[in-house]
Structure 1
Amino acid sequence: MATIGLIAAMPDEIRPLLRLVKPWERSHSGRFSLRRLRTGNANLCLVESGIGVDRAAAASEALVAAASPAVIVSFGFGGAALPGLRVGELAVGMSSWLDGPQGLVRCLGIDRALAEGLAAELDRRCGGAARCDIITASRILRKGDLAKRLPTAIASPVLDMETAAVAEACRRHGIPLVSLRAISDAAAEELAFSLDEFTDDEMAVRPLKVLATITRKPWIIPQLLRLARNSRAAGKQLAGGVLAAVEFLSRR
């Protein structure tokens, strides 16, 4: 039976799913942690990438090497860049874009037919899903600044930091990709801190850096608490969406 690959960046994105799918076995592929699961008729292999395009690219290669998946689901939290999407709302990527040195560049890799089918499945099973354009950034962006640069082709932008790298790996290996995000911060929520203040050079979150930043900027505490609540709500929705995605893809 073919394997469905799953890739997510952070433990907070993964834990709600693991609570719903038991048992699972842990293994490793290179420096990445893998979990092998089974639900219904689907064999799953889940990799935790860590934050950012470099880690997502390397984790995608590790997933392909370990599991040879027939299809990959990239899932996690996302930030709404324009008004309209609510915290906790599911969003399926119809296109992938990278915001890099050359500006916004369209990326191949997302299977549009599968994405449309998954969105329709989530409409039936999870109370709806937005059709979105996923913009992958290498840093935390000011949403207001990004909105001014968006081409008219991007109508419902959702920000993340991994999808474009996963899409490139899928394109290179000929593996179809679907990307599912749960909104963790609405368009009006501009982050009052940079990722560099929380992470090391490899984009891994370091608790001591987080503590030092909070000590230096205590006014960000209410926002961090709000984002934590949002992430818990988004995580529950995301887990249900991933299970629906797996069941949908296992029937294909």
Structure 2
Amino acid sequence: MSGELKPLVHGWPHSTRGTIQFWAQRTEEEEWIAACAGAGLAAATRAFAGIEDGGPIDLVISVGWAGALTPEVAAGSAHNCAGVIDARTGERFNCDAHAGKLWLATSPRVADETEKRRLATTYKTSLVDMEAAAIARLAAMRSIPFYAIKGVSDPLDAKMPDFNRFIGHDGQFQTAKFVLFALLRPWIWPVLVRMGENSRKASQSIAERLHELLRE
């Protein structure tokens, strides 16, 4: 989602191609490109392909929101992951140097509390997202250094509505449909407000953690 990248790409030129949004920052020595195409593995694959159309990639970083799988992982924080596990296949992908200690699981759906606890128990992971395993696999196939930096948008015990019903087959979030759903259920408003605040903090933390990684 574009909100995941907002603090990171502030001021970068922006463009779109189909369902893919791009931001690019160029200097005389290097070029950085950010892309997003929606939620899920297929959308992440499209975003990667969109960047690769512009030429060879030297380094790839999967950034974005994730859910916490343990109570110790605080909402709003960001983490440089040690590796990624595809929850569908069990495949493991290590991140490159300067990696952290926490492992990330990639799920094909937005995980509720029950699924979070299952993932933590099964894979001994601390975070869950919906995209990183796709990017890790593509990077491994091309022998490209891979990193994953994830910001926590929802703690383990967050009582969230079922967001899966509002994500289309193309990975696009159906905002109008969700707004109507939320307007008719005022009891979920406090949950959404907290999640919005956590997500904004997480996006800022992602940008800060990425800049730390690049300095290292």
Distance in 2, matches of 1:179 and 1:44, equals: 16
Aligned length: 216
Task: List alignment gaps of at least 5 residues for structure 2.
Answer: none
Distance in 2, matches of 1:118 and 1:149, equals: 21
Residue 85 of structure 2 is aligned with which of 66, 89, 97?
97
Whether 1:17 aligns to 2:46 is: no
One-letter code of the match for 1:135?
A
One-letter code of the match for 2:3?
D
Q: CA offsets per residue over residues 131-166 of structure 1, 9 Å max, x none?
A: 211111111222334424545762x42011100111
Whether 1:142 aligns to 2:123 is: no
1:84 Cα deviation after fit:
0.5
Distance in 2, matches of 1:204 and 1:96, equals: 23
Alignment of 1:195-214 (within 5 A): 195-196=164-165, 198-214=166-182
Q: CA offsets per residue over residues 20-57 of structure 1, 9 Å max, x none?
A: xx4x3334566522221147965211112311111001
Query: In the superposition, relative to structure 1, how do residues 233 and 41 fare at CA in structure 2: closer, same or farther (>3 Å)?
Result: farther
Q: Does the aligned pair in 2 maintain the 1:16–1:239 contact within 8 Å?
A: yes
Q: CA offsets per residue over residues 107-153 of structure 1, 9 Å max, x none?
A: 33x434x2xx154xxxxxxxxxxx21111111122233442454576
Q: CA offsets per residue over residues 56-111 of structure 1, 9 Å max, x none?
A: 012112222224221101111111111101112221221211222x5xx1233x43
Residue 31 of structure 2 is aligned with which of 43, 46, 51?
43
Q: CA offsets per residue over residues 182-239 of structure 1, 9 Å max, x none?
A: 111111213232321x232212112221123214433222111110011111121111
Q: Does the aligned pair in 2 maintain the 1:34–1:46 contact within 8 Å?
A: yes
Task: List alignment gaps of at least 5 residues for structure 1.
Answer: 1-9, 120-130
Distance in 1, matches of 2:28 and 2:117, equals: 41
Distance in 2, matches of 1:149 and 1:139, equals: 12
Distance in 2, matches of 1:27 and 1:67, equals: 17
Distance in 1, matches of 2:54 and 2:44, equals: 15
Q: Does the aligned pair in 2 maintain the 1:193–1:220 contact within 8 Å?
A: no
- Counterpart for residue 234 of structure 1: 202
TM-score (norm 2): 0.88
RMSD over aligned Cα atoms = 2.4
- Counterpart for residue 127 of structure 1: none
Q: Larger % of strand: which?
A: 1
